[in-house]
Chains A and B, each alone.
Chain A
Amino acid sequence: MKPTDTSNPDYFHKVVDCQRGCPAHTDVPAYIRMIAQGQFSDAYMENRKSNVFPGILGRVCDRPCEPACRRGRVEEKPVAICRLKRVAADHRDDITARLPKAPDQSNGKKVALIGAGCASLTVANDLAPLGYEVTIFEALQTTGGLMRTNIPQFRLPPKVLDEEIGYILDMNVDLKLNHSIDSLKGLLDENFDAVFVGTGAPHGKNLEIPGRYDSENIHIGIDWLESVAFEHVKSIGKQVLIIGVGNTAMDCCRTSLRLGAEDVKVMARKPRGYFKASEWELQDAEEENVEILINHSPKEFLIEDGKLVGMKFELMEYNIDENGRIDRGTVSGEKIIPCDDVVLAIGQDNAFPWIERDIGIEFNEWDCPIVDETTMMCGREGVFFGGDSAFGPKNIIWAVEHGHQAAISMHRYCQGESISDRLPDGLNLASQKMGMHEWSFSNDYDDASRRLMPHVDLKERFKQIDIEVELGFTAEQAVQEVERCLNCDIQTVFTADLCIECDACMDICPVNCLTITENGEEDELRTRLRAPAENLEQDLYVSADLPQTGRVMVKDEDLCVHCSLCAERCPTGAWDMQKSTILIPYAKDELSDEQVPLVAGSSA
């Protein structure tokens, strides 16, 4: 193999699994260390830089960082990254003075954002401080999109939404509520310099089986949740069936329990392991005694005297092959389950009846606009998409990332620059050595297991619909959980010229990830390392030829716990521990120093 090029920011970025796994690339280990030092406001601002809504995401993020977390590979459970984000938000001081501000003077460019969900709000967050005149058009009477209308209040209190959305709106954003855009063409005729479509994927999928339209007690999940949020719906029957087993289904079943349901069943077509819902959402629902029935495929709504009395299901059997792939299944019988209400939670569709088909925007076979994945622009110049509207339903953190990228593109577009010519990621490295055996970070491996989130008592929580179930980590829990972080951003950096091949680093490494051996092709080299290197997603770090024998130092990045012992035991400093900071560009980084606009109260 060729010596690893560590000057490419991508290499060390990949080692920081959580940050890499986060669509918005939040610098997780950096903020966890800030929490460890009690710097909650700093940790909050570090989060806000990339994910914009730390208080919201600290409660309800889909947390793709956690399955990516290295800790989950060396032991059972990853670091509770998401919960620690909430710790930063819960304990921050007033940070309003540290927020970006709209400058005194506009830069003369106007942008229109359609929808006041997290995608549009992120665009506003990034562009308002640069002097753009930002107008948000929102069909509803309130902001937040699905975060407010669909994520139940017992998971995400409105106060948290108001606060973090407020930070953005306070940057002179012109918010037009109750203002549905019914024609994109019409909007384009107004004199905006760029338009962003952040309207989400607003249609809940229907289930066209017999009886579907014969009762009022059959609801579409996301519409029903919205009606609950707006208090149009305040009760539900005693026996409720939820069709589907994704995250929407989990919110529907738990909401039903708070509206008077006593027996709630979630009906899954497939067996466990093939559910769409996140593991923790399933757990939270099951903790509330929701029953999940597997292998039930809906066949018919049963109506008696115009009243819904039950549903008929086909009982399914599946074959699963050795790769875990499941077939389409065969029907082995039928079953009737009585109920008073049914909530359909089987997915969402995009719908754009308000976008004319003759204005240069192409649509694919599912009637979704064709959008460039890097620039977020569609076929019509100056029109950008992001969030669920771009590529179908995802989650908040993806919507935020789309917003950041769209903001960069919109800025470049408005400035007459090429939108594909974007700033690359950058990399900073700094040694963390403080003394012979002292490092600037807590390098010792703490074998504590993952802390459990305390919940409001099971009886207590159903008394009102807006009692937040999760209480947040206690101070003691936070102190223990931060120590579980392996500081993956503190990189082992090797200097081949210094190595005398004494083996000290290899011998001390607790996870045997270092080997000095003859070079070879990657596949073959992987078989000659001191411990199995079977995780092909994790790179091998290969040195230049070593001075004494011409062999190479090979590090399998997979399980390194960043304990620094290799660097401590190295007599020559050939290994060093260096903090890598991956510099992710945002719209503001596109400005040269002279272009940074003036803000009242700050000096130039």
Chain B
Amino acid sequence: MSFIAKPKVSHPGMPKNKLGLTSRDYEGTVSTLCAGCGHDSVTAAIIQAVFELGIEPHMLAKMSGIGCSSKTPAYFVSQSHGFNSVHGRMPSVTTGANAANSELTYIGVSGDGDSLSIGVGQFVHAIRRNLNMCYVIENNGVYGLTKGQFSASADIGSKPKKGEPNQQEPIDPVSTALSLGATYIARSFSGDKEQLVPLLKGALMHRGFALVDIVSPCVTFNDHEGSTKSYAHTRQFYHHVIDIDYVPPAEEIKAAYGEGEAMPIEMHDGSTIVLRKVDKDYDLTSRASAFKYLREHFNAGEITTGLLYLDESRAEMHELMGNIDTPLSHLPLDGLHPGSEELKKLQNRYR
């Protein structure tokens, strides 16, 4: 951490978004994480994504559990809503919040411990419900906050700073989400904002459960030789499959793409995701082939990244349950509260 706050002074030539804000307006308090932590870099990517999308700060809700990763919502978009829940319970709290108000954009920031160890039950059910949220896992293979014990995402053979290498199978959040029917699944690396920022933008605008699993090295407890979640290891085995560009609604696709390289996919809100295929054989609409590809490359020791699965057609939680769009807080009291007569009638039906 730093003793001084990041000065308010900024570059006079900073770009502004459609709200007239600069990325500096989307910052939070100064980070208290270790210097060089991947999580801080993810925070910077989230700031960039939310800034570029022009999300109004008060229309964003930041949800988290416990862990270094779960602390990070304090470090971006100070002027939004937030809930820092119990360890591993962010998905259910987000479910409740979203059930009450579907107008907000929900971003959950979690860790591999928070989501795959203690919170794995919550994680899988949020996916099953197709909860409309952007779910970020800052994946470092350890419990950073409690000083670096292996988490459920640690790879077999990965060496800890002290003690014996890990021997248990890792839980891969991407394959898990694939098997459970998540509708937007991506993986990236904290050290690759060029890839990460558009993936986050797509995830924030996707309707349904969007998982972004981000390798985010713990510089203090898991960045040594022999660790499979270090900066150096990730860079060495990093493998791009499909990178994307996010094009907001009613904007022209300006970037130049090579023949047969780019494929636009329209999203629910009218925006477009342009897929830049790095591996032409990869089909991100097929769960079966995605699964196969992931497994093969995992076995080869590679870290497969990019937008790995996308389904814009499945209904999200509110649609599945036939809920109304209006946030509960906007409903008049008699709409929320049927009255004692109605209650009596209802109860009589069960007598």
Contact = CB atoms under 8 A, between A and B. Distances in A.
Interface of A: 74-75, 437-438, 443-445, 447, 500-504, 506-508, 510-513, 531-532, 534, 548-549, 559, 561, 563, 565, 568-572
A532 B11 contact: yes
Contacts of B231: 500-502, 548
Contacts of B38: 502
A549 B189 CA distance: 14
Interface in B3-28: 3-4, 6-14, 24
A329 B14 CA distance: 40
Q: Considering residues B13, B14, B35, B40, which has the most beta carbons from chain A within 10 angstroms of its beta carbon?
A: B35
B191 A501 contact: yes
B193 interface: yes
Given A75-B9, A512-B14, A507 B44 contact: yes
Given A501-B231, A563-B7, A570-B36, A534 B13 contact: yes
A571 B34 contact: yes
B41 interface: yes
Interface string B212-231: 00000101000100000001
B6 A565 contact: yes
Contact of A570 (B4, B14, B35, B232): B35
Contact of B193 (A503, A504, A510, A563): A503
B1 interface: yes
B36 A511 contact: no
A561 to B, nearest CB: 6
25 contacts: A74-B9, A445-B8, A447-B7, A447-B9, A501-B235, A502-B219, A503-B191, A503-B193, A504-B36, A507-B43, A507-B44, A508-B2, A510-B24, A511-B10, A512-B11, A531-B13, A548-B231, A548-B235, A559-B11, A559-B12, A561-B9, A565-B4, A569-B2, A570-B35, A572-B36
B4 A500 contact: no
Question: Which of A502, A508, A534 has the most B CB atoms < 10 Å from its CB?
Answer: A502
A534 B13 CA distance: 9
Given A502-B41, A548-B232, A571-B219, A561 B7 contact: yes
B226 to A, nearest CB: 16
A503 B232 contact: no
B115 interface: no
Contacts of A501: 191, 231, 235
Contacts of B41: 502-504, 507
Contacts of A571: 34-36, 219
B190 interface: yes
Given A563-B4, A568-B2, A569-B2, A504 B35 contact: yes
Nearest to A547: B232
B9 A507 contact: no
B191 A502 contact: yes
A353 to B, nearest CB: 53
Interface in B40-69: 40-41, 43-44
A565 B27 CA distance: 16
A502 B44 CA distance: 12
Which of A445, A503, A570 is packed against the most chain B CB atoms within 10 Å? A503
Contacts of B43: 507
Contacts of B11: 511-513, 531-532, 559
Interface residues of B, number: 32
Contacts of A508: 2, 6, 40
A451 B35 CA distance: 36
B36 A507 contact: no
Nearest to A506: B44
Contacts of A570: 35-36
A437 B3 contact: yes
Nearest to A548: B235
A443 B6 CA distance: 11
Nearest to B5: A444
B351 to A, nearest CB: 63
Contacts of A443: 4
A437 B11 CA distance: 24
Contacts of A565: 2, 4, 6
The 5 closest A-B pairs by CB, nearest first: A571-B36, A445-B7, A507-B44, A532-B13, A437-B3
Nearest to A502: B36
A568 B35 contact: yes
Given A504-B35, A504-B37, A569-B2, 8 more contacts: A438-B3, A447-B8, A502-B36, A502-B38, A508-B6, A512-B14, A565-B6, A571-B36
Contacts of A572: 36
A571 B232 CA distance: 14
Contacts of B191: 501-503
A105 B47 CA distance: 71
Contact of B40 (A507, A548, A549, A559): A507
A506 B232 CA distance: 19
Nearest to A512: B11
A445 B2 CA distance: 14
A569 B41 CA distance: 11
A294 to B, nearest CB: 30
Nearest to A517: B194
A204 B300 CA distance: 86
A510 B9 contact: yes
A500 B218 CA distance: 13
B30 to A, nearest CB: 8
Interface in B189-221: 190-191, 193, 217, 219
